[in-house]
Copies of this chain bind each other. A is one copy, B any other.
């Protein structure tokens, strides 16, 4: 196979397997090419990704070595996307009765999910995440997208028992936007003990739902390596969690005047982007 064809196939192959270590002999065999040619191919790939600030090709030396494609967005891409997203969130037709915000269009748009997934996967690229956790329903698409770019599974905590999940572990938590005690649960077989868990959700008001997921993770003896939300509503009340990452921060919702003010969240300042 010619270099040009190898490069097309290799790019596709690596993009479909983020974070997975692929050995040079594997590629040498796949393309019936010398290892030195494969190394040159990979150098081209690495250089192209780096100059676009859109991914890292990491080389692992040694007998058990190889290469690994790491989805990773540069700061300028993040800034550009997040200011666009924040301005789209400011559309007053998103305001719903009770000060809620309609975000389902963002949460079900493939291109948005791709960007959001890459952003969180950038921040936690080197955090050894084993699994992404969310709670039904709206966080699911975000969790799936982050999990895709980290190439790990995701688990969905449920708010009601389902007969199709088998044995479960449940916790109680304060749902602060509803001011009541709620329950969420996870099938025992869904999460391995002592995993590193990244918690993802769509919207944070008081943070009660997030504390529920933290508790669930602890019930499985897991470590929480991070908490990510698409939107935080900053004006509401004291938060129950303090160490989290938000992409968009809503500063004000005026239901009467139909005004909603948003800006990029703390993601930009809390991420160092230094691996590129």
Chain A residues proximal to chain B, CB less than 8 Å: 3-5, 7-9, 11-12, 15-17, 44-45, 47-49, 52, 54-55, 96-98, 100-102, 104-105, 108-111, 113-114, 136-138, 140-141, 144-145, 147-148, 151-156, 158, 162-166, 187, 189-190, 203
Contact B48 A8 (CB under 8 A): yes
Total copies of this chain within the assembly:
2
Interface core residue of A100, A166, A189 (most chain B CB under 10 Å): A166
Interface residue from B97, B137, B151, B166 paired with A102 (Cβ < 8 Å):
B166
Given A108-B153, A109-B153, A148-B110: A8 and B11 interface contact (C-beta under 8 Å): yes
A158 to B154, CA, bound (A): 21
- With both beta carbons as reference points, the residue of chain B lying nearest to A94 in the complex is identified as B166
Contacts of A136 in B (CB 8 A): 136-137
Q: How far is the CB of A147 from chain B (nearest CB, A)?
A: 6
Contact A164 B105 (CB under 8 A): no
Contact A9 B164 (CB under 8 A): no
- In the A-B complex, list the 5 residue pairs whose CB atoms are closest, starting with the nearest: A11-B11, A8-B48, A100-B164, A5-B48, A7-B7
A95 to B15, CA, bound (A): 35
Contact A113 B148 (CB under 8 A): yes
A9 to B105, CA, bound (A): 29
A44 to B47, CA, bound (A): 21
Contacts of A4 in B (CB 8 A): 3-4, 7, 44
